[in-house]
Amino acid sequence: MKIAFFDIDGTLTSEKDGKIPESAKDAIRKARQAGNLMFINTGRCFQNVEPRFREVGFDGYVNGCGTHIMIGDETLFYLTQPAERIREVIRLSRELDMDTLYECRYYVTFDPHHTLHHPGAIRQRDSFLKRNYDIAMNVDDPDFTCDKFVIWYSDDSQLREIRKYTDKYFECIDRGGTFREFVPIGYSKATGIQMVLDHYGLSPDNAYAFGDSNNDEAMLSYVDHSIVMGNSESESILKKATLVTEKASEDGLAKALLSLGFI
């Protein structure tokens, strides 16, 4: 039995239009029918793993870069942050005038008291509104917290200042340009894989990871079989690939599953 872990954006979905190729859906379903395990492994928290992804049919989910592990619909592991820690992140984000998205398994939200500046943050907000997400949580509630967060900044000094605090608790992942992802230290897509392998009694020899971007580097480095999509623009993860498949929009996921004996 093999087990595969799939990033979402640019891996499960086309890099062109964000849709899931029919070939990918069909290949994943056939791989499961053949007795293999199929998992999503994403930086998205579960609330933002849209129904269209779940409907493909997966055995479970590694959400929020390893902070929330699900087997089927059941939670195997979950980690969130102390409220006081996130209050300090909110304070610093306001002081530095940065666009910050707070993510947890129940919701995603921007600070409703902050006006977004960065085009990337505005696009993200608009995409959430298009999906009818409620993204106006009360971040000033003393109990408000999140599992992880991302920022868009306009000046390097903003990043340096917030990291004086966050580096004690979070790993800062470069997602390109002025976009950064902050994940609790000690957790990643790789630690999520290990928890799933432990649950099933499998070894990394049985595990295959599919990704395309910098936040996939941990899981691609961790398993023996690392598959990078042809649309990847990250030289560092392309160097880690045991297989570079076609672009997601060119049936790369399905072609890889076929060539690797999943179907």
pLDDT in tens, 239-255: 889 999 999 999 999 99
The residue among 139, 157, 184 that closes a domain is 184
pLDDT in tens, 193-242: 999 999 999 998 999 999 998 889 999 999 999 999 999 988 888 988 99
For residue 170, what are the β-bridge partners?
Answer: 184
The residue among 164, 184, 204 that closes a domain is 184
The residue among 149, 167, 184 that closes a domain is 184
Supply the pLDDT for residue 214. 86
CATH of the domain at 94: 3.30.1240.10
Supply the pLDDT for residue 151. 98
Q: Do 128 and 141 belong to one domain?
A: yes
Q: Do 101 and 168 belong to one domain?
A: yes
CATH of the domain at 225: 3.40.50.1000
pLDDT value at 74 more than 90: yes
pLDDT value at 136 more than 90: no
The CA distance from 126 to 95, in Å, is 24
Supply the pLDDT for residue 234. 87
Give residue 3's pLDDT band: very low, low, confident or very high (50, 70, 90): very high
pLDDT value at 102 more than 90: yes
Supply the pLDDT for residue 204. 87
Q: What is the DSSP letter of 18?
A: S
CA-based angle 81:121:176, to the nearest 5? 85
pLDDT in tens, 212-226: 988 899 999 999 999
Q: Do 213 and 247 belong to one domain?
A: yes
- What is the mean pLDDT of the segment spanning 56-78? 98
Strands (E), 64-169: 68-71, 74-78, 99-103, 108-110, 148-152
Residues in the chain: 263
Q: Is 33 exposed, middle or buried (0-12, 13-18, 19+ CB in 10 A)?
A: exposed
Q: Do 124 and 193 belong to one domain?
A: no
Q: Do 195 and 176 belong to one domain?
A: no
Please give the tally of structural domains in the chain. Answer: 2
Q: Do 89 and 68 belong to one domain?
A: no
The CA distance from 128 to 231, in Å, is 24
- In a 3-state reduction of DSSP, which class is residue 137? coil
Q: Do 73 and 92 belong to one domain?
A: no
Q: Do 180 and 191 belong to one domain?
A: no
Q: Do 75 and 94 belong to one domain?
A: no
Supply the pLDDT for residue 215. 83
Q: Which domain holds residue 193?
A: 3-79+187-259
Supply the pLDDT for residue 19. 97
Q: Do 196 and 179 belong to one domain?
A: no
